[in-house]
């Protein structure tokens, strides 16, 4: 009975290759030979970053130059600049950093909020702050719903989703204070978001007590 030098499996004398790892029985230990060349992910990411940055800077400079030449201002070219900035927030940075699902969603929802505020600024100059009083609460409620679904779907790493839900609850409570300072009143949207966040935290405290409080202590270094 022969023995494979790589994995140690006993091999029948008639076989010339190991049935487990496929190595030749009589071969000497040698460096692993890959059938396909290894791809350097970091090199590809750096190349993608350089090309994307070049295209971004070139297009923004070209559009700004045309806007200045025609209108002697950069009014409409600001929309192009914001579009590229939004693309970098929602697509570029998560792709380059290879974020997990939770962080990827966080950047996408942050981009959605930025888009709402941008539209609000250009439509009513924030005289009617509908982006903050209506649009942002809807985004936060959608965000919380997605996090809840992912928290139930993932058996491992639930602590990260639980902390994310807690942060959304804290954000909603802070936005109630901002509403009273900014608009002297608070709309139903932020009350709903805060109540929803409180229910999430309460449910986590009862049904996932050990993991939830353990993660909180770890994050707060308690």
Q: For residue 213, what pLDDT is reported?
A: 85
DSSP per-residue letters across 145-175: HHHHHHHHH-SS-HHHHHHHHHHHHHHHHHH
Q: Print the domain residue range for 81.
A: 42-98
- Round the average pLDDT of the chain to a whole number and report it: 82
Number of domains in the chain: 3
- Same structural domain, 61 and 148: no
Segment 57-74 shows an average pLDDT of 89
Quickly tell me which residue has 């924030």 as its tokens. Answer: 126
- Same structural domain, 93 and 119: no
CA–CA gap between residue 175 and residue 192 (Å, rounded) = 12
Q: Bigger pLDDT: 96 or 174?
A: 174
* Tens digits of residue pLDDT in 159-194: 888 889 999 999 999 999 999 998 888 889 999 999
- Same structural domain, 16 and 61: no
Most confident of 15-24, 70-79, 115-124, 210-219: 115-124
Determine, yes or no, domain membership for 219: yes
Segment 57-63 shows an average pLDDT of 90
Q: For residue 119, what pLDDT is reported?
A: 92
- Same structural domain, 63 and 128: no
Determine, yes or no, domain membership for 108: no
CA–CA gap between residue 64 and residue 78 (Å, rounded) = 8
């Amino acid at each position: 009975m022969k023995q494979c030098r790589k994995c140690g499996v006993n091999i029948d004398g008639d076989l010339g290759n190991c049935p487990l790892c496929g190595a030749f029985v009589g071969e000497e230990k040698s460096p692993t030979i890959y059938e396909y060349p290894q791809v350097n992910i970091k090199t590809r990411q750096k190349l993608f970053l350089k090309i994307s940055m070049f295209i971004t800077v070139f297009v923004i400079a070209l559009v700004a130059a045309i806007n200045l030449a025609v209108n002697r201002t950069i009014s409409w070219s600001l929309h192009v600049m914001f579009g590229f900035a939004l693309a970098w927030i929602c697509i570029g940075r998560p792709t380059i950093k290879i974020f997990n699902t939770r962080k990827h969603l966080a950047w996408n929802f942050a981009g959605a909020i930025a888009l709402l505020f941008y539209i609000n600024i250009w439509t009513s100059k924030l005289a009617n702050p509908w982006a903050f009083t209506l649009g942002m609460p809807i985004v936060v409620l959608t965000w919380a719903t997605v996090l809840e679904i992912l928290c139930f779907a993932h058996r491992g790493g639930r602590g990260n989703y639980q902390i994310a839900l807690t942060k959304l609850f804290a954000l909603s409570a802070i936005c109630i204070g901002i509403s009273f300072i900014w608009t002297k009143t608070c709309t139903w949207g932020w009350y709903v978001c805060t109540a929803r966040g409180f229910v999430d935290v309460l449910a986590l405290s009862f049904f996932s007590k050990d993991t939830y409080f353990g993660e909180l202590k770890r994050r707060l270094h308690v």
